[in-house]
Amino acid sequence: MPRNTPSPRACRDCDGFARAAITTGTRNPDGTRTTLTVDCPACHGTGTTAPTPALARIGR
């Protein structure tokens, strides 16, 4: 029986839409718009969150 791999969880801040293109309002010489690409600050553009590591016992 095949093992199912768990799907990565979507980032709670961007809901999986990690990268956005924002127009600046200016145009390039060829007529296209100038855009800036901005990544989600929480997931750094991946769209997923890292799984929470298991609690580690420290000390005695």
Q: To which residue do tokens 């029986």 refer?
A: 1
Q: What single-letter DSSP state applies at residue 31? A: S
How far from each other are the two terminal CA atoms of the chain, in whole angstroms?
40
How confident is the model at residue 32, as a pLDDT? 93
How confident is the model at residue 7, as a pLDDT? 67
Does the pLDDT value for residue 5 go beyond 80?
Answer: no
Please choose, from the candidates 42, 21, 46, 20, the residue with its C-alpha nearest in 3D space to the C-alpha of residue 33.
Answer: 21
How confident is the model at residue 54, as a pLDDT? 56
Does the pLDDT value for residue 43 go beyond 90?
Answer: no
pTM of the predicted protein model: 0.56
Q: Find all residues with CB under 8 Å of 36, minimum gap 6, and list them.
A: 21, 22, 24
